[in-house]
Structure formats: structure tokens, C-alpha cells
Amino acid sequence: MFSYPLISIPFGENFNQRLVDALINQADSPLDLAQTLILVPNHRAILGLKNAFLQKAPQDNLLLPKILSLNDLGDHNPLGIPLIDALPKKVDSCKRLGILSQLILKFPGYTSTPQALKAARLLGTVLDEMQRWGLDSRKIETIVSTDYAEHWQLSLDFLKIVTHQWPQILQELGAIDDQARTHQALKAVATFWKHHPPVHRVVIAGSTGATPGIASLMKTVLTLPKGQVFLYGLDSPEVTYPLPHPQHAIQKLLSVLEVPSAQIYFTRPTYPLATDRHQLVQRSTSSTLTKADGKIKPPHLIPCSNLQQEAKVIALIMRQSIDTTTGPIVLVTPNQNLGDWVEQELARWDLTANRSDALKLAETPPARFMISVANYLQNPTVGGLLCILKHPFCAKASDRKTHLETIRSLEITIIRRPNFEFEDLRSAFAQYLDILSLPDALSTLNDFLDHHRAICGKLTGDTTPTCPLWQQNDGAALKEFLDNLNNQAPYFSGISNQTYAGVFKTLLDQAPGLHNTKGIGSRLHILGTFESRLSDAEVMILGGLNEDSWPQAPQENPWLNRAMRQQLGLPLPEWYIGLSAHDFWACFYAPQLYLTRSLEENGAPTLASRWWQRLEAVYLKNQTSTPPDPWQEWADQLVPIAPSIELMPPAPCPPIEARPKCLYVTEVERLMRDPYAVYAKHCLGLKPLPSLTQDSQALKRGQLIHTVLDQYIRANGGLSPTLDHLLNFAYPYFQKDHTSRTFWWQRFQKIAAWVVQEWQSAPALKRLSEHKGHVSFVVGNHTVEIKAIADRLDLMETHVAVIDYKTGAVPSLKEMKQGLSPQLGLEAWMLYRHGFSVPHAKHIKAALWHLTGQNPAGRVINLDITEEFLADTETGLYNLFLTFLNDQTSYFACPNPDHAPHYNDYSHLERLKEWQG
């Protein structure tokens, strides 16, 4: 083994432990081991390898070798190689984004900065991928545009930004792209070692050589006197594996390394399970699925109904493993949402897992606060203002308790009152509105950032460097990012108040993530697929095994199609799927292995991962008699289920003196359909707070039409109307906002023509609008009063007509006759009882005017008013009050669901869904 330059450790073996054992056995002395250089794929692999060495330290008192990540060679030159120091510095990511967005804005079709920034991010991925593979961007010019459709020809024109303009700009800046520097640094190390071979041992361990730069360095290491490469999971080099087989990438690496099979040392598995699992892997990845040996115990495949249940199952497995195992317990998943859910479920047992994925800066509390402020500055709304003023950072440096009490009081007394307008905030919230404003002259990103930061500082109550916004780790990282962004701001195009929020959020998404420090030292780990490489676990859970999750869906590229990628020499999507497959099967050899997936996610059905489907097919041919553990049932039992109780509807029964004896006609209908709502309003004094959002458009349209007709009659009488006169009068009312002016005015013109025609066909002596009335009568020992505001009363020569306007849904004539919708009938009865203070009429007519502005613009629904109808109305009203003025009568909630009101402000108090369900 010591004489072989290339050594393969099979899947299932503890890679780090076998590597450590091999290096210790090869070392001539402790100093020889300490001088060894080991290059691994990522930082988590460094941590795992160090832990493996430390496990040997109590026995052998080792001096640790130098362990570095391959990707770090180009960042700060840890090897001190002069060729790397001579490389140009890497261009700042924000600077690159700003310059590319300016170039894109010159291209036809791109008009806004946020749009250009998004395109610049995608263009940056094209640059990064080409440089990662060591390709010259000028190679794009070799693609023959006439071979492609017009769309792709435009794409090639667009990509001239990459081939012509961007390289020239980099040259002027004296900089280089990050991925290009990494690639050139790897080449520089290889070149330096060819001419100056190190005298100490150099080892590259665990890398798949997925990029040309790393593969070239591995080839150079194999030529060194003390160079070795340790591969993980290399199968037979004699068999050719096509894409997307998990062995394809590592087999392609062998062709680059040009190592004969005789110079490859394959270490042997040390425990039987690895051999059994390897047999299953071969069966599952072969072109024909064949039955495995019946003695092989398959891993646990656990399908779950949804993502939440999957997270509960995983958390249960991890919790059980804490008591039954002593080694690491690892969840590997590319689905960050699943990781978040699992983290929450573990909290029920006060367990914390160490996560490999970085925390996005844009999702930290300080960044969210700044985003809320940016959104408000772009689009001031009441909801946005309260979101800022109630945020934990607002007034954090001052008396926050008093601040919150003040804001809550102002919300109730001003914002939540009826007919509130945004302008009403000017006096009460003047202090905050003055802070939350931007000068009109701002046009550069620097100006916006400076004012934005100043505003956020003032809102916290501290504008000094000790502002609480910058104090914690996330705040310090945000401040560092914003300081750098201020330095790079001149490279961005001009922006406006309407685009700043979008630009700010896009730039925050570019910020480097924060290191996740939670769970350090824990046995529980939640890893991504890349970070899981070389990880060792006693219990391994592979979660989120659905297509487009694992393997992940190929990234969309609007500028390069499949044929173009082949011409450029870029890898096809199947290449990345093969690498993902390699990561998957590398995790397949843990002593305890669980595979999970959710059958649906976000309410949509999912498709099982291709590896799940293959394993399931193999296992169906290899079923065992041992029934699986009911993890799904256990997961469902995690949520405490209360003993079954019969939920009864609310039935309050207040004393007589507390019961309402004065109602409007609309409340009489509510008393019949939903007595509890009347109880809540009149007995408890509960009134719904107005919504922070705008009222529904239909309601506002109805109120506007009512107002226009009312004011017109009050001003002109409505006795001799003309269409032009009514339209000229109404026009100013519809010019107050865009919706009224653009949409509702068109409808009202049709309504006005219909109304004028009705008025002209039925001339009146007098028209009364929004006319108030009331009637009192005795019920038992109590005097009851009924009130109403009639939309219109028309005094004719032969009769008086009571008319009610409706612009939305209208009750049926049957409901009005039966008294289920009694508003119009009660107004007619009040007119009969002289409740409206108008001359007595022998005949009364009642009608609904349904005003829609459609085709037809309106229609009349006449309610036949007879003496019998009036008598029945009075009797029904008397009996209704007689019933509810009885201290034994309860105010039930929607006693008849078929007749429940369409709108119910008290449904949450009535708990309708609990007892009606």
C-alpha cells in the first residue's frame, strides 16, 4: 500500500480513519507526519480529518499534519507560492454585479436596474462555470449562430458582454474573477511543484477531481516523490460507466491521471455490511435491476405524507438514536426547508443539530428590518409603517416599552377607526413620518444607502456606531457588507425611489452567508450533499429523496442550450447528476441507514427520486418478513391529541337589562341569521377593528355610487335630471384615485343613463335621500325601537316609494317575502307606521335597484307591499323581540347554517369551524 501512488478506499469504510491509519503507518517519524500536507475538498472535511487524528492523539501523542481545502489555495495563498501572489486580485462580487448590470442595461429589452441585476446574476453563473472548467470566454465566438434559432442568435449577441467587454474591464481594473483565480491558483501550484517538488509528503484525499484545475493538480501530485492521491469509492477501472452513473466522474478522472490499473491499490472492506451494501448499489445502478442476495438486509425506506411528517419522522429517528448509539447521527439533504423543519422538531427535546449550510444574511433580523424600511420608502402603506414601528429593533436603544404602548394606542385610536385615510397619520405619527422620508434629489446607490442607514439608526434611537442594529454577529456582518457596498456603489447605474427596494434586496442576496455556530460539538448533524463527502456516521438519514430535490433540477440558463454547452466544452446536466449520485451512494454504507421522502410538498404531489425508485424495485424483489417500524404513526402521535370532547356552539344568555332594545333594520336580519353577532356587538360592546389593508374594491365602489346619488339628490332634488347634468356632477368623485378613474367611471356612465331613465319615467313630487326614521312599539314590559336610513324615498302623487340601492349581491324575492332579508320590508312597514316623518300615503311601494353598470346597467326588483304583508311583518317583528327579551333565550351562533350571513365579523369568536365541522 505504501508504494502505490493512487489508493482507493471503498465506500462503507471510515475514510478519515483509514486515511489517518495509512499516513501514520507511512510516516518515518512524528516530524515526518507533521510536515505532511493534506488537501481535502472542503472545510468540513478538514474538521472530520482533524477529529480522526485527535482520536489517535491520546495513544500516540501525534503532531498533526497541515490540512487545507483545495478551494482555499487561491484565496490567501496558504502555501506561500510566488506564482499565486503574482496573480491579479479577485474582483469584488458586488462590483462585478454592478458593472455587468450597467452593460446589460445597454442591451435592448432591459430598462430597469432590478431587471438588469437579476440578468447579471445569471450571466455571472455562465462566467463562473466557464472559468471553473478553465475555458476561455472568447470560445463563445466560435459557436456558429446560423446553426440556431433566432432566440439563440440573440443570446450569442448578448454573450458578447462576456467575450469582449467584461475581459477589457477586468484588465483595466487589474482584477480577475473569483473562479478564474481559483483555477489559475491550482494550475500555479501544479506548475510550481513540477519545478520545485516538495521534500515532504503531499496527499490529496477524498476529491473526485470534478474540475480540470483539481484534476491537473492531482496528476502533478502523483509525479511527486512523496505524492499520493486517496480516492473514495472507486470501483473497477476496467468497466466503462456512462453518464449519469456515479462512477463516471471518478472514472473520467482516472483517464486524466493516466494511472495504470496496476498502480492503483484497492483497500479491502473490513466489515461484512459494506460488501452487502455494495452488492445492492451495483444492482440498483445497473442497467437491469436484478434480485440481490436474500440475506442482505435492506435499509429503511420511509415514505411520508408531507414535508412536516417527514421532518417529524427524521427527528424521531435522531432522538431514538441518541439513546441507542454512541456515534455521529447525520441527516443529509439538499432540501433546506426540510432541514429547518427538522431543527424545529428537535427543539421539542431541547436538542440542537450542527448545520453545514450558512445562514443567509438577508434572513437575519437586522437585514429584515432594513428590508422593511426599504419597502416602506418605496411604497408607503399603513401595514408597512406598523411593521417597522413594532419591529424589535425600533426604539431598541430608547424606552421601547413606552414606545410600544404609544404605537398600540395610536393604532387603536387613529389607524383602526372607520373611514381612516393615510393623511390622518400626519399629526400623530409626524415624528416617524419625518424620519421615514427620502429627499427627492437622490439618484445614486451611495446616496440611497447613506440615507437608508441613517433612517434605520434613527428608528432604533441610536445613530452612533454602537447602534443595536450592528451589535450582534449578524449585525456586524451586515454593517461590513454595507460598508463594502458603499465602496462599490459608483459601479452601479442610477436608481430611483421606485427601484431602490428591489435593488437593495437583490444585493443582499449576493452577500456571503453567516457561519452557523449552533450545535457545535453535538452528535447531531444536518449536512448538505457536498458537505457530506467523507463524513462518517453511525446513523445516516438521507432525506428529501424526490426528483428536483435530490438530484436537484438542472439550473436554467437562458443563453446556452445543450448543443452550445457541448460546443463550448461545458459539462451536460447529466454530469452533475452523476456527481450527486456519487454523493448519495457514498452515504449508503452507514451501519444504520434510513431513506425518507414526502409524497407531497407545498400541496403538490412529488415524484420519488430515481435512486429511491431503483432501490424500491430491488427491495420489492428482496422483501423481508420483518415488519418495518411504524415511524409515520409515531410521528403523528408527536402532536398531543386531546381527549375527544363534544364541542358545543356558544349560547350566551344575558339578563334582560343587558339585551338590546334598539336595532337598525339591518341588525334585525342579523338577529335572525346570527343572534350571537348581535350579542357580541350590543351586549359585549365588541366592534371589529377596521382592516389595515384597503377595503374590498366592491365595497368601495358601492359606497362611492351611494355617495354620488345621495349628494346629487341633496344638491339638485333629482326631479328633472338630465344625463349630462348627473355625469358632470359625478365626475369629480371618480377622479380621486386610479381605480375609480379607470374602471368605475366607465360603469357609472351606464348606471347614470339607466338611473336618469328611471327617474324620468317615474316623476316625483319630492325625492329624499339617506332619510332617517324610527318606530317605537311595546313588547311585553319593554319599549322597543327600530331605526333605519332609507337610501331614497320618492313622494309621488299616488304613493310613496321606498328604494334601496344594491351594487353587489342582492337577496332573492323569496327571502324578502319570507322575512329572511327584511330590510326593505321593514322600511316599508316603518313608512306605514309614520316612522320617516313624511306625509301619509294610502299606497306604499318598495323596490331594490340593482346597479351593476353591466348589461343591463341596472334592474328593479319590486316587493309587493300589501296590508297582509305589513301585518305579517309587524307580527314577525313583535314575536322576534318577544323571543329575545326572554331571559331563557340564548343568542346562538348561526343556528341555521343554510341561512348564515355571507359576511361575519364575529366568526372567530363563534368558533364556527370547530363545532360545525
pLDDT tens digits, one per residue of 618-665: 766 555 545 567 888 888 888 665 555 667 889 999 999 999 999 999
Cβ neighbors of 615 (< 8 A, separation 6 or more) are 280, 284, 298, 299, 301, 595
Cβ neighbors of 330 (< 8 A, separation 6 or more) are 525, 526, 527, 532, 535, 537, 539, 540, 541, 587, 590
Q: Is-contact 226 198, C-beta < 8 A?
A: yes
Cell of 518: 449552533
Distance between CA atoms of residues 704 and 851, nearest Å:
12
- Please check the confidence at residue 388 and state whether its pLDDT lies above 90: yes
- Please check the confidence at residue 726 and state whether its pLDDT lies above 70: yes
Q: What is the pLDDT of residues 396-416, one digit of tens each?
A: 888 888 999 988 988 888 888
Distance between CA atoms of residues 120 and 138, nearest Å:
18
Q: Is-contact 781 813, C-beta < 8 A?
A: no
Q: Is-contact 124 97, C-beta < 8 A?
A: yes
pTM summary value: 0.78
Neighbours of 839 (CB within 10 A): 9
Distance between CA atoms of residues 341 and 314, nearest Å:
10
Q: Is-contact 299 317, C-beta < 8 A?
A: no
Hunting for cell 339578563 — which residue is that? 655
Distance between CA atoms of residues 576 and 525, nearest Å:
24
Distance between CA atoms of residues 501 and 221, nearest Å:
50
Helix ranges, 325-444 (H): 336-346, 365-378, 382-389, 400-410, 425-428, 430-435
- Please check the confidence at residue 695 and state whether its pLDDT lies above 60: no
The DSSP secondary-structure symbol of 379 reads: S
Q: Is-contact 11 232, C-beta < 8 A?
A: yes
Cα–Cα separations (whole angstroms), residue 36 to 25, 75, 113, 189: 13, 21, 51, 16
Neighbours of 164 (CB within 10 A): 15
Cβ neighbors of 385 (< 8 A, separation 6 or more) are 376, 425, 429, 432, 436
- What pLDDT is stored for residue 246 in this prediction? 86
Predicted confidence band of residue 424 (pLDDT cuts 50, 70, 90): confident
Cα–Cα separations (whole angstroms), residue 407 to 86, 442, 458: 59, 30, 16
Cell of 587: 452515504
Q: Is-contact 299 585, C-beta < 8 A?
A: no
Q: What is the pLDDT of residues 782-792, one digit of tens each?
A: 999 999 999 99
Expressed in angstroms, the distance from the first to the final Cα of the chain is 71
Distance between CA atoms of residues 99 and 106, nearest Å:
11
Predicted confidence band of residue 481 (pLDDT cuts 50, 70, 90): very high
- What pLDDT is stored for residue 645 in this prediction? 64
Q: What is the pLDDT of residues 810-854, one digit of tens each?
A: 898 888 988 889 999 999 999 999 999 888 777 899 999 999 888
- Please check the confidence at residue 294 and state whether its pLDDT lies above 60: no
Percent of the chain with pLDDT over 70: 94
Q: What is the pLDDT of residues 448-471, one digit of tens each?
A: 999 999 999 999 988 888 899 998
| Of 410, 452, 445, the residue nearest 431 (C-alpha) | 410
Displacement of CA 886 from its chain's centroid (Å)? 53
Hunting for cell 501572489 — which residue is that? 85
Predicted confidence band of residue 614 (pLDDT cuts 50, 70, 90): confident
Cα–Cα separations (whole angstroms), residue 563 to 86, 141, 384: 37, 14, 48
- Beta strands of 65-143 (E only): which ranges? 66-69, 89-90
- What pLDDT is stored for residue 35 in this prediction? 93
Cell of 549: 430535490
> Between β-strands 782-795 and 662-664, what pairing exists: parallel, antiparallel or unpaired?
parallel
Specify the 3-state DSSP secondary structure of 605. strand
Q: Is-contact 766 717, C-beta < 8 A?
A: yes
Kindly state the average pLDDT of the residues 96-100: 93
Kindly state the average pLDDT of the residues 538-549: 93
Hunting for cell 510516516 — which residue is that? 27
> Between β-strands 858-863 and 844-851, what pairing exists: parallel, antiparallel or unpaired?
antiparallel
Neighbours of 629 (CB within 10 A): 15
The DSSP secondary-structure symbol of 233 reads: S
- Beta strands of 467-618 (E only): which ranges? 524-527, 539-542, 592-598, 600-601, 604-605
| Of 890, 898, 895, 899, the residue nearest 915 (C-alpha) | 895
Q: Is-contact 193 83, C-beta < 8 A?
A: no
Cα–Cα separations (whole angstroms), residue 252 to 9, 257, 288, 529, 638: 18, 9, 23, 21, 48
- Please check the confidence at residue 295 and state whether its pLDDT lies above 70: no
Cα–Cα separations (whole angstroms), residue 35 to 7, 30, 31, 719: 20, 9, 6, 105
| Of 218, 200, 201, the residue nearest 209 (C-alpha) | 218
Distance between CA atoms of residues 297 and 623, nearest Å:
9
Q: What is the pLDDT of residues 18-40, one digit of tens each?
A: 999 999 888 888 888 999 999 99
Kindly state the average pLDDT of the residues 888-899: 90
- What pLDDT is stored for residue 892 in this prediction? 93
Percent of the chain with pLDDT over 90: 45
From the number of C-beta atoms within 10 Å of its C-beta (0-12, 13-18, 19+), residue 97 rates as buried
Predicted confidence band of residue 319 (pLDDT cuts 50, 70, 90): very high
- What pLDDT is stored for residue 546 in this prediction? 94
Distance between CA atoms of residues 99 and 550, nearest Å:
35
Task: Name which residue leads in pLDDT, 753 or 159.
Answer: 753
Indicate the length of the chain as a whole number. 917
Distance between CA atoms of residues 905 and 404, nearest Å:
27
Q: Which of 59-63, 558-562, 691-695 has the highest mean pLDDT?
A: 558-562
> Between β-strands 782-795 and 800-806, what pairing exists: parallel, antiparallel or unpaired?
antiparallel
Q: What is the pLDDT of residues 491-511, one digit of tens each?
A: 998 888 888 999 999 999 888
Q: Is-contact 318 331, C-beta < 8 A?
A: yes
Distance between CA atoms of residues 248 and 238, nearest Å:
12
Cα–Cα separations (whole angstroms), residue 542 to 354, 525, 576: 16, 12, 18
Q: Is-contact 667 897, C-beta < 8 A?
A: no
Cα–Cα separations (whole angstroms), residue 485 to 489, 528, 579: 6, 29, 35
- What pLDDT is stored for residue 625 in this prediction? 44
Kindly state the average pLDDT of the residues 874-901: 92
Q: Is-contact 301 616, C-beta < 8 A?
A: yes
Q: Is-contact 540 594, C-beta < 8 A?
A: yes
Q: What is the pLDDT of residues 39-94, one digit of tens each?
A: 999 888 898 899 888 887 666 677 889 999 998 888 888 999 999 999 999 999 99
Distance between CA atoms of residues 762 and 714, nearest Å:
18
Average pLDDT, the chain: 87
| Of 354, 700, 673, the residue nearest 535 (C-alpha) | 354
Cell of 851: 346597479
CA atoms within 13 A on the CB side of 214: 26
- Please check the confidence at residue 748 and state whether its pLDDT lies above 50: yes
Distance between CA atoms of residues 772 and 790, nearest Å:
6
